[in-house]
Amino acid sequence: MSLLITGGTGYIGSHTVVEIQMLAASEGKEWDIVIVDDLSNSSTKVLDRIKQITSKSVTFIKADVCDYDAMNTLFEQYDIEAVIHFAGHKAVGESSEKPLNYYHNNVSGTVTLLRVMELHKVKKLVFSSSATVYGDNISPLNETMSTSATNPYGQTKLMIEHILFDLAKSDSDWSIACLRYFNPIGAHHSGLIGENPNGIPNNLLPYVAQVAVGRLAQLQVFGDDYDTVDGTGVRDYIHVVDLAQGHVKALQNLDKITGCKAINLGTGNGTSVLEIVNTFKEISQQDIPYKIVPRRLGDLATVYANADLANELLVESNKKFTNDD
């Protein structure tokens, strides 16, 4: 049986492919992995890197998930049992400049994928959602809280979640894990795969890393007047390999889920910008020059997960879970 991974040559997708090959094989479930990616934000170079790490090959198909015929052909060609759906655009700022691109790619792409899955009676899905759907709720954030979004990127994640909940309500054969990621960071310990954003990074960790290697002169710390430990923003940074292993666990536990279940993937701990800078400095022994600048529009003071459900569902229990309301 094959596992389809959309967006599998991207940052989180590539780490997940590696963890599925390593962990799932050691637990006796071998998957034939089929990656579909349009390479809009990644490169096929990562396929060789995955092979170097795992000694296994994957099937790669260059296609756009919005292309119904291409997706249908793929499902005709391969005996797909389940899908992990990473493919999507993810830049918050760009989503406000090009909202139609984001609604088309993320929402229409997902609807196209779901229609093809339904046609081929493939009803197991792990979806990449985001903590951004919690809007300005107070942390720790748990899955029963209300959801809202403040930018088109966040809206696409929220709309897709609603589509998934409605779909699962309409047909109880679906098992969907809707994983709400907090802040993924880091890279595989081999150094062969990692995050390599084009242009100037928006996110904190890649920015700090580029200051550390001298590619960028200094970090701008967006605000030091928040009500936090040192006045700078607090986030829940989760290592990308832990996040990837969360997908393996979700896949292995899909049969416990009837319907669609939202699950946080975070550590449950918050870390401030200055704590990150100081730790990075200490470990890398590199200076990280920074300057405090005004707050970034749309930023919240503190965002971190309540990670109990992931522990309960993905790590510990035999409990069964049904649809979220």
Task: Among 6, 42, 132, 147, indicate the residue that binds ligand UD1 (CB under 6 A).
Answer: 132
Alpha helices in 83-220 (DSSP H): 92-97, 99-102, 109-119, 152-170, 204-212
Task: Among 23, 24, 39, 92, indicate the residue that binds ligand NAD (CB under 6 A).
Answer: 39
Q: Catalytic residue at 153? A: yes
Residues 158 and 135 sit within 8 Å (Cβ to Cβ): no
SS3 of residue 316 by DSSP: helix
Residues near ligand NAD (CB under 6 A), total: 28
Binding track, positions 264-293, relative to ligand UD1; x by CB under 6 A: ---------x--------------------
Q: Does 181 bind ligand NAD (CB under 6 A)?
A: yes
Q: Does 37 bind ligand NAD (CB under 6 A)?
A: yes
Q: Which tokens sit at 65?
A: 């998930």
Number of CB atoms found within 10 A of residue 144's CB: 10
From the list 153, 207, 237, 290, the catalytic residue is 153
Q: Does 152 bind ligand NAD (CB under 6 A)?
A: no
| Minimum distance from residue 219 beta carbon to ligand UD1 (Å) | 6
Q: Does 155 bind ligand NAD (CB under 6 A)?
A: no
Q: Does 206 bind ligand NAD (CB under 6 A)?
A: no
Task: Among 8, 233, 246, 266, indicate the residue that binds ligand UD1 (CB under 6 A).
Answer: 233
Q: How far apart are CA 89 and CA 161, in angstroms?
A: 16
SS3 of residue 306 by DSSP: coil
H-run or E-run covering 271: strand 271-272
Please choose which of ligand UD1, ligand NAD, none residue 16 contacts, taking the beta carbon within 5 to 8 angstroms, the exact cut-off set by kind.
none
Binding track, positions 171-210, relative to ligand UD1; x by CB under 6 A: ------------x------------------xxx--x---
Q: Does 222 bind ligand UD1 (CB under 6 A)?
A: yes
Q: Does 92 bind ligand UD1 (CB under 6 A)?
A: yes
Q: How far apart are CA 301 and CA 295, in angstroms?
A: 10
SS3 of residue 309 by DSSP: helix
Task: Among 178, 221, 238, 274, indicate the residue that binds ligand UD1 (CB under 6 A).
Answer: 221
Which position has the token pair 């979700």?
A: 250
Nearest residue to 174 via CA among 208, 127, 245, 123: 123
Q: How far apart are CA 115 and CA 132, in angstroms?
A: 26
| CA angle 285–291–293, rounded 5-degree value | 145
101 phi/psi in degrees, rounded to 5: -55, -45
Please choose which of ligand UD1, ligand NAD, none residue 273 contacts, taking the beta carbon within 5 to 8 angstroms, the exact cut-off set by kind.
ligand UD1
H-run or E-run covering 60: strand 59-62
- State the residues that interact with ligand NAD by CB under 6 A: 6-7, 9-13, 36-42, 64-66, 86-90, 105, 109, 128, 130, 181, 184
* Residues with catalytic roles: 153
- State the residues that interact with ligand UD1 by CB under 6 A: 92, 130, 132, 183, 202-204, 207, 219-222, 233, 235, 273, 296, 298-299, 303
